[in-house]
Amino acid sequence: MFNVLFVDDDSFMLRALLRLAKRLRPEWQFWTEEDGLNWAKSIPHNVNIDLIVCDYLMPDINGDSVLIEASKHFPLAIRALLTGDTTEEVVCKAGKAAHFVLSKPFNEQDIVQLLTCIERIHKLPFTHEVRAMLGASALLLPLPDIVQRVRKVLQDEQSEPTDIVDLIAHEPLITAKLLQLANSAFLGFSRATLSIEEAIIRLGVDLISAIISSIAIEQSATSIIDKSAQLRINEYAYQLALNAQKIANTLSLQKSKQEELFIAALMSVIGELIVSSRIWQDLFAAQFADWPTRKLIVAISAYLLTLWGYSEFLCDIILSSVEPEVSYTDHNLALLLCLANYATKYRGSIPEEILNKLPDEQIRQKLAHL
């Protein structure tokens, strides 16, 4: 059972949210509050909130400020912002305060996804302290400074979406954020996509520039990882994604599956940015000393991706890639991601002892000649 707080000065909206949430999760506990300045007054002192959903535009205080204040009292809580304003300013503000941004008026599908994500992240094997740290990291992670290069491409009238793809393909966190927004109901997109090029076309020049600039500003204010480690991790992610795509091409996977595998590979390395950070090394490394490194990285990656609203399908590919099922290869993207990791580790080739575990001789032969 989970505890949820809804904050909105519109009593009609509050009642609608409460009715829908109770129908979807009747066993959960819900509280409502119309006063944004005193958002916590309706919550009993002994209750820890798991989810806070807040309207953006309210009298006296905006929802992003409420969520930032709430995070100090309930650091484990997942934060969601409700808004009908999709201007660049609101998009950037929302990304600093909320794990989820929902369009207003909301629909049932958005609320179902939000509640399901709460359940999913609580299944992952982390302590309360680690969850608080990962929740904060989902909103603020260091990124290389590529803003000037991206702006230069965006300002060129002759540029194509593929030009930006070439730049951000080396930056898994930028890719993650752009894909998150390109799949957001908040911006009116009903069909999911894992194509970076399509995400760029959907979002447009101004929004992409604003998002990347916002990330860079946050980066200049907070540094949790050494530059050299950051560059190494980002380059590994890119090489992993290229090897995954090469494997997918070799096995003649359809284009949509190739894109899914490429994105899963790129996103699966995000957790290493956390594991390599000074905060993690100082506070949490000892707790996970007996964990295999890859298992820890993909678990953290899946946690962050869940908080960014990525599908359970994508997170399952990443999680399962540590110990994938090897009895079949057809559309087994977790296995192919695992093989891509070996190919990246061993400079493009998959060790023979790994290939010998695959049941299909024809596939073994194909992958032996990558």
**Cβ neighbours for 121, distance < 8 A, ≥ 6 positions apart:** 78, 131, 303, 306, 307
- pLDDT band with cut points at 50, 70 and 90 for residue 221: very low
Instruction: Among 222, 244, 270, identify where a domain stops.
Output: 222
**Which own/partner pairs from 20-28 qualify as long-range (CB within 8 Å, at least 24 positions apart)?**
20/108, 20/111, 21/111, 21/115, 24/108, 24/111, 24/112, 24/115, 25/115, 27/1, 28/1, 28/2, 28/3, 28/4, 28/115
Does residue 237 sit within a domain? Answer: yes
Residue 32: give its domain's CATH number: 3.40.50.2300
Does residue 131 sit within a domain? Answer: no
State pLDDT tens for residues 16-29: 999 999 999 999 99
Residue 218 and residue 235 in one domain = no
Q: 11 pLDDT exceeds 80?
A: yes
- pLDDT band with cut points at 50, 70 and 90 for residue 223: low
Does residue 134 sit within a domain? Answer: no
Model pLDDT, residue 238: 82
Does residue 138 sit within a domain? Answer: no
Model pLDDT, residue 4: 96
Model pLDDT, residue 209: 67
Element (H, E) at 256: helix 255-267
Instruction: Among 222, 247, 265, identify where a domain stops.
Output: 222
- Per the confidence metrics, is the pTM higher than 0.75? no
Residue 68 and residue 164 in one domain = no
Residue 246 and residue 364 in one domain = yes
Model pLDDT, residue 222: 46
Does residue 128 sit within a domain? Answer: no
Residue 270 and residue 202 in one domain = no
Residue 217 and residue 260 in one domain = no
Model pLDDT, residue 143: 40
Mean pLDDT over residues 71-97, rounded? 79
Mean pLDDT over residues 99-125, rounded? 86
- The average confidence (pLDDT) of the chain is 83
Residue 54 and residue 190 in one domain = no
Residue 160 and residue 287 in one domain = no
- pLDDT band with cut points at 50, 70 and 90 for residue 200: confident
Model pLDDT, residue 211: 67
Residue 12 and residue 105 in one domain = yes
Residue 161 and residue 187 in one domain = yes
**Which residues span the domain enclosing 257?**
223-369
Residue 256 and residue 363 in one domain = yes
* Residues paired with 52 in a beta bridge: 5, 79
Model pLDDT, residue 167: 77
- pLDDT band with cut points at 50, 70 and 90 for residue 350: very high
Residue 317: give its domain's CATH number: 1.10.3210.10
Model pLDDT, residue 343: 95
Does residue 19 sit within a domain? Answer: yes
Q: 122 pLDDT exceeds 60?
A: yes
Q: Which residue has the higher pLDDT, 75 or 19?
A: 19
Q: Which residue has the higher pLDDT, 94 or 348?
A: 348
Question: Collapsing DSSP states into helix, strand and coil, what is residue 30?
Answer: strand
Q: 220 pLDDT exceeds 60?
A: no
Model pLDDT, residue 263: 82
Residue 314 and residue 346 in one domain = yes
Q: 213 pLDDT exceeds 80?
A: no
Does residue 137 sit within a domain? Answer: no
Q: 186 pLDDT exceeds 60?
A: no
Instruction: Among 196, 222, 248, identify where a domain stops.
Output: 222
Does residue 129 sit within a domain? Answer: no
Q: Within 10 A of 111 (CB to CB), how many other CB atoms are there?
A: 19
Structure tokens at 219: 């980066």
* Structural domains counted in the chain: 3
Q: Which residue has the higher pLDDT, 18 or 271?
A: 18
Residue 173 and residue 244 in one domain = no
State pLDDT tens for residues 336-348: 999 999 999 998 8
Distance CA 181, CA 315 (A): 17
- pLDDT band with cut points at 50, 70 and 90 for residue 207: low
Q: 117 pLDDT exceeds 70?
A: yes
- Comparing 5-19, 107-121, 195-209, 250-264, the range with the smallest average pLDDT is 195-209
Portion of the chain with pLDDT greater than 70, in percent: 86
State pLDDT tens for residues 275-314: 888 878 888 888 888 889 999 999 888 888 887 777 888 8
Q: With CA atoms as reference, report the closest residue to 170 among 257, 114, 230, 90.
A: 230
